[in-house]
A and B are shown apart, each in its own frame.
Chain A
Amino acid sequence: MDGSIMPTRMLLDIEDLTVRFVTREATVHAVNGVNLQVQAGEVLCILGESGSGKSVTLRALMRLLPAGRTRIEGRITLDGQDVLSLDRKRLQAMRGGLVSMIFQEPMTALDPVYTVGAQIIETVRQHRGGSQRDARARALELFELVKIPSPERRLDAYPHELSGGLRQRAMIAMALSCAPKLLLADEPTTALDATVQIQVLILLRRLQREMGMGTIFVTHDLGVASEIADRIAVMYAGRIVEEGPVADILNNPKHPYTQGLMASTVHAQDRQADIAAIPGSPPDLRRLPAGCSFRPRCAAALAACRERVPTPVFPAANHMARCFRVAAEMGEGA
């Protein structure tokens, strides 16, 4: 992003999303008031650790969460449609058509008893109709697009017959089969080997650019985010604590959690010194602390952090942080 104001089109608008899982014993506050926008053609990375609510946000958007024990509040508008009020039929048209998703484990996301080709053909015919032959031609085209070697033969392979990298490419092919406007990727390269991970990342980046898809890419890996993101949203305990253009977040993080995450990521550290780790562990989502959820682990906490959830402040253009310390420093600077 070069900072110039471009005429953009809002593809996705999430307003004040709250997701709670209710059981007899406890209520898990997984997502606590998330606001997110994705423009057409842009890659937003949601960066966070396990339990931060990043995957739950994606699943809420796909309406994949179990209806019985999930309470979803807020508003999700995708390409003009109100996602949370769609009926079953419209929802089916949306999933795989308008928006599709890639998961971390292609082995569990693909059906083991059908060939990968059959699964793509089924998706194509479901959304676009047409003959078996046309759908197979489309599947072959997709396999070539994601650079699967000997694609004709691989269409007839079962998921277990493919290597991890090829399985993930097959899943990407399936996700792209109906040219979705929004692609959701939930840690798609985490389970892959280093030399394969970078191949899949570069492939995804290229396809995203060529097809002009809006993309939400969930990851815990700063390196992955730095390779693919236009913008980064950092999540902690179900809230976005910082958001901004990728270079701003990585070079000039403002929120103490983002700063801690960067300091604790091992990358060419001094071998003689300890890593500056964040003390403690993330809060129990059944019993969130009052005020800022990061306060118990934060070295820079103020009295106000204990009382209220910080409201967003903007230390730079398009760069949001929810932190009283950042707000105070901005006040001093003014």
Chain B
Amino acid sequence: MQIQPLPDDDLDPRDRGGQAQPLLIVEGLRKFFRVKTQDGKPAAVKAVDDISFTVFKGETLGVVGESGCGKSTLARLLMHLIEPDYGTLIFDGEAVDSPDGITVDTLRQQLQMVFQDSYSSLNPRMPVRDSVAFGPLVHGKTREQARAVAKDMLTKVGLNPDLFGPRYPHELSGGQKQRVNIARALAISPRMVILDEAVSALDKSVEAQVLNLLRQLKRSFSLTYLFISHDLNVVQYISDRVLVMYLGRVVELGPVEDIFSRPKHPYTQALLGSRSSMDPARRLEEPPITGDPPSPIDPPSGCRFRTRCPYAEAVCAAEMPELSTWRDRESHVTACHMQNSASGHSLADVMGRA
């Protein structure tokens, strides 16, 4: 291969495609779970339904959405913890789980995950230093090497390895356990980490500490994050770009400033409008939308948000809106008939031009 040497001399030797090559490309990912309804009829939970997006090297992509929107299923699909029905993953230019690409094992050496429940994701019968050392051991390090890695990683996440290493998970606080989970995820030097509601269960003062830690680790290990959260304030703080999901579909995707200052999709607008101003003099008097998200079992036809959308019209029930054309990392795209002047929605012209 003839590649121009880059001036950047601390370039990751595992970086095969170069800076312009996205670290992860997800195309047409789909996962339906077969279930039975209460009267025994077969049905499908459309957890992730035709999702495509790109994660660039060194960025933090935030994923937001309410419970049941498929964000955790998405994370598990990316890790191949569950098998997708359809869709391809391309990690740094190589197809995952494909004959001419990389294996799932190779993927997992470069992609790791931190879960929400810091306790149930650690082995309760193992001192936490062994949990951290387990990954390196499995991936071919000797016992001594793995121990050394564990010690180093615990230090890097702010835990004294001599004090905390020998402890069992139940002897640690929630914040400390989550630090251990982060150390474990980083112990095999991944290039990308999926953080699935990783700070959601923590108290505010501890959450802030862990967010600072995550930012610092990202800088020192040149990591790429997929940050899944229901907390819009946290996503706004930590993300470079944001992907908004609703009932298994991407409804909006774009740079964080665009999403938070100029949201296009009525659902994103409602999500942002549901946030407290933190000012008792400016309380919300009316909820932006009413009702709960519908069940992902047999979701509404057409646009899945139409049952709660104040602008819904006939076209929204008849046709599923497609995501507008995505070009590059500056693109701000949305799946809404109002944004497409050809859709036939009466507000399409007004909104589409805006």
Determine if B276 and A227 form an interchain contact, defined as CB atoms under 8 angstroms apart: yes
Q: Mark A265-291, 1 if CB is under 8 A from B, else 0.
A: 111110100111111011000000000
Q: How far is the CA of A199 from the CA of B271 in the complex (A)?
A: 12
**B245–chain A nearest beta-carbon distance, Å:** 12
Q: Is the pair B284, A49 in contact by a Cβ cutoff of 8 Å?
A: no
Question: How would residues 225 to 247 of chain A score, 1 for a CB under 8 Å from any chain B CB and 0 otherwise?
Answer: 01101000000000000000011
Q: Which residues of B contact A277 (CB under 8 A)?
A: 205-206, 208-209, 211-212
Residue of B nearest to A48 (CB): B203
B140 to chain A, nearest CB (A): 36
B292 contacts A227, C-beta separation under 8 Å = no
Within A124-156, which residues are at the interface with B (CB < 8 Å)?
149
Nearest CB in chain A: distance from B313 CB, A: 21
B299 at the interface (CB under 8 A from A): no
Contact present for B212 and A250 (CB under 8 Å): no
Is A264 engaged at the interface, CB distance under 8 Å to the other chain? yes
Given contacts A194-B275, A199-B290, A266-B237, contact A227 B284 (CB under 8 A): yes
In the complex with contacts A275-B211, A277-B208, A198-B274 CB distance below 8 A? yes
> Using a Cβ–Cβ cut-off of 8 Å, how many residues does chain B contribute to the interface with A?
49
Check if A222 sits within 8 Å of B292, measured CB to CB: no
B175 at the A interface (CB under 8 A): yes
Whether A211 is near chain B, meaning CB under 8 Å from some CB there, is no
**A37 interface contact, C-beta 8 A:** no
Given contacts A194-B230, A199-B290, contact A268 B280 (CB under 8 A): no
A220 to B288, Cβ gap below 8 A? no
Q: Which of A164, A165, A247, A281 contacts B206 (CB 8 A)?
A: A281
**Min CB gap B259→A, angstroms:** 13
A194, A223, A250, A274 pick with most chain B CB within 10 angstroms? A194
List the A residue with the shortest CB-CB distance to B276.
A223
Known pairs A194-B230, A268-B233, A274-B215; A261 contacts B287 (CB<8 A) = no
Q: How many A-B residue pairs have CB under 8 A?
A: 131
Cβ contacts A61-92/B at 8 Å (1 or 0 each): 00000000000000000000000000000000
With A194-B232, A194-B274 already in contact, the answer to whether A266 and B283 are too (CB < 8 A) is: no
The reply on A316 being an interface residue by CB < 8 A is: no
With contacts A193-B67, A264-B207, A275-B212 taken as known, whether A198 is within 8 angstroms of B287 at the C-beta atoms is yes
- The reply to whether A222 and B207 form a contact with Cβ atoms under 8 Å apart is no
A311 contacts B by Cβ under 8 Å = no
A266 with B208, Cβ < 8 A, contacts A194-B275, A195-B270, A250-B279 known:
yes
Shortest Cβ distance from residue B312 to the other chain A in the assembled complex, whole angstroms = 16
Give A151 Cβ to nearest chain B Cβ, in Å.
Answer: 14
Question: In residues 252-299 of chain B, which contact A (Cβ within 8 Å)?
Answer: 256, 270-271, 274-281, 283-293, 295
Q: By CB atoms of chain B within 10 A, which of A229, A275, A279 has the most?
A: A275
- CB pair B208–A197 under 8 Å, yes or no, is no
- The answer to whether B292 touches A226, judged by C-beta atoms less than 8 angstroms apart, is no
Q: Decide if A278 touches B205 in the complex (CB within 8 Å).
A: yes
Inter-subunit contact B280/A195 (CB<8 Å):
no
Q: Are A266 and B280 in contact (CB under 8 A)?
A: no
What chain B residues lie within 8 Å of A165 (beta carbons)? Answer: 291-292
Q: List 13 A-B contacts (CB under 8 A).
A: A50-B203, A164-B292, A194-B230, A201-B284, A202-B284, A223-B278, A261-B204, A264-B207, A265-B233, A266-B211, A267-B278, A268-B236, A274-B216
Those 6 A-B pairs whose CB atoms lie nearest each other, nearest first = A223-B276, A264-B208, A277-B208, A193-B66, A49-B203, A163-B292
**Chain A positions near chain B (C-beta within 8 angstroms):** 49-50, 149, 163-166, 193-199, 201-202, 220, 222-224, 226-227, 229, 246-247, 250, 260-261, 263-269, 271, 274-279, 281-282
Add 16 more A-B contacts to A223-B275, A264-B207 (CB < 8 A).
Answer: A165-B292, A193-B67, A195-B293, A220-B203, A226-B279, A227-B280, A260-B205, A263-B208, A264-B204, A266-B231, A271-B256, A276-B208, A281-B173, A281-B176, A281-B205, A281-B206
